Structure 1
Amino acid sequence: MAFKTFLHLFIISIIAFVINFFLVENVVPKLELKKWTYSIVYLYVLFFLFSVVIMSLLLFVRTKNLDNVGYTYLIVTSIKMGVAYFLLRPILATTTDDNATEKINFFIVFIWFLAIETLLTIRILNNKQ
């Protein structure tokens, strides 16, 4: 179960990264990309690591008590949201129109990984073994 969960997380993350990377590289002007606070690679690696930690914690909690997996997911996701806000603050502080694409990209990556984690958590909860 654990290997399959991490494999799904890895494959979905790679596919999303490739799509996002090529879209941004071909749509966003190079000068604007140089002004971005966080690169696409950095965001994906960071959120992938967050997801690995969250999934590891959920799988550990599942071995102890399946009933607490949902609560653990809510708590850990809230903590992740707080960390993401602090990462987003430098982007929000810049008030130029140039960073609108960076803001949108940050939220897309955040929401994408949140969706992946939610789906994998549902799988963990539905697997009663």
Structure 2
Amino acid sequence: MNLKNYKPLLPLLALAGLAYVVHRVAFYVLDIDDATFYYSIETLYMLFLVLSIMVFLVLLKVKERSFDNVGMSFLLSTSIKMIVCYLILKPILQATTQNNAIEKKNFFMMFILFLAIETVLTIRILNEKQ
């Protein structure tokens, strides 16, 4: 196993860790209680991180076999990830708690954050050919 091929995963891990710390600090400063959330912040970060790692492992495998298909693979894997995230989000959408609006915004902001990270790192992979 050549670890050099999996080097693009390091920025993903670093950015996810940094985002988690900033997220926790923001919740502390804004005095937001996440104890009543359906999913804890840690659970969501682990979920999104695992899904993002899976997307990147697929992209790295596709890159080794056919570099021209990396973009399409990204679109397909992101679409599958979106379906999985909707299935995870469904209980939050159906809940009627007081923090429900905050929890929905929290989930969508995390989804957008990880999507942005994945997009930037995929652009890096695509620019390696030039």
Name the TM-score, length of structure 2 as normaliser: 0.91
Name structure 2 gaps, 5 residues minimum. none
> What is the rounded CA distance, in whole Å, between the counterparts of 1:128 and 1:71 in structure 2?
16
Aligned with 2:129: secondary structure? coil
Aligned with 1:36: secondary structure? coil
1:52-67 correspondence runs (5 A): 52-67=53-68
Between Structure 1 and Structure 2, which shows a larger proportion of helix residues? 1
Q: Give the superposed CA RMSD.
A: 1.5
Aligned to 2:82: 81
Of 2, 13, 16, the residue aligned with 2:16 is 13
Aligned with 1:34: secondary structure? coil
> What is the rounded CA distance, in whole Å, between the counterparts of 2:32 and 2:108 in structure 1?
19
Give, in angstroms, the shift of residue 28 of structure 1.
4.1
State percent identity of aligned pairs: 46
Aligned to 2:113: 112
Q: Which runs of 4+ in 1 moved over 4 A?
A: none
Number of equivalent positions = 127
Whichever residue aligns with residue 21 of structure 2, its letter is V
Whichever residue aligns with residue 128 of structure 1, its letter is K
Give, in angstroms, the shift of residue 35 of structure 1.
1.6
Whichever residue aligns with residue 22 of structure 1, its letter is V
Is the Cα–Cα contact under 8 Å of residues 59 and 73 in structure 2 kept in the other structure?
yes
Aligned with 1:117: secondary structure? helix
Name structure 1 gaps, 5 residues minimum. none
Whichever residue aligns with residue 41 of structure 2, its letter is I
